[in-house]
Amino acid sequence: MTQLACRYALVRFMPHSDTEEFVNIGIVVACPQTGFFGFRLEARKHKRITDFFVGLSPETYTSAVLVMASELHRVKEQLDHRTGEDVATRTRSTFDNVTHAREAMVKFSKARVILADSPEVELERLFSHYVDQTPDAVT
C-alpha cells in the first residue's frame, strides 16, 4: 500500500499562557493527497487536566473543548463543501488556517508530517499516543 503524507498538530489546553504549561487534549490530521481532514478531542476525561491545573473547574475545561470541537466541525463541514481550488490546496490551506497561533486556552503545536497507510487509522494512533498515552501506541 502506498503511504500518504499526512500533516498533524497536537491540540493543547493551556489556560495560563504566562507559564506556558499545557496538556495535550487532541489531534488534528490532514492528508492533502486525499482531502482527509479529521480531529479527535478529549472532552470527557477531565480529571487529569483539572488535577494538573490546580483550581481549574471542570466546566472551564469542558467549555473550552466544546468551543474548539464546534469550530473544527464547522471547518470540516466547510471543507467538505468547498469548491474552486484542487483538493490538496483546499486541505492544506484549511489545516494551516485552523492550526495557526492564537491567543486562547486551546492552542496547537507546530505542524508535523508523518507517512501513513490510512489517515483515519493514523489519527486514532496519534490520539492514543499523545492524549490517551496508551503504552505501545507508537511502534
pLDDT value, residue 134: 56
Cα 78 to Cα 72: distance, rounded to the nearest angstrom: 10
In a domain, 139, yes or no: no
Instruction: Please check whether residue 76 lies inside any domain of the structure.
Output: yes
As a whole number of angstroms, the distance between CA 27 and CA 36 comes to: 14
Show the domain range for 71. Answer: 4-131
Looking at the structure of the chain, the number of domains it has is 1
pLDDT of residue 71: 95
Specify the pTM. 0.89
- 87-98 helix and 58-81 helix, angle to the nearest 10 degrees: 160
In this predicted structure, the answer to whether residue 135 has a pLDDT above a threshold of 60 is no
- pLDDT tens-place string over residues 37-84: 999 999 888 888 989 999 999 999 999 999 999 999 999 998 887 776
Reply yes or no on whether the pLDDT at 139 is more than 60.
no
Residue 62 lies in a domain: yes
Burial group, residue 7, by CB count within 10 angstroms (0-12, 13-18, 19+)? buried
Our separate counts of H helices and E strands in the chain read 4, 5
pLDDT tier for residue 103 given thresholds of 50, 70 and 90: confident
- Beta-bridged to residue 26, according to DSSP, are 11, 41
Which secondary structure element, helix H or strand E, spans residue 8, and what is its range? strand 4-13
Q: Return the SS3 of 17.
A: coil
Residue 37: its pLDDT value, please? 96
Q: What is the rounded average pLDDT of the residues 18-37?
A: 94
In a domain, 137, yes or no: no
Q: Is 138 within a domain?
A: no
Q: Is the pLDDT of residue 138 over 60?
A: no
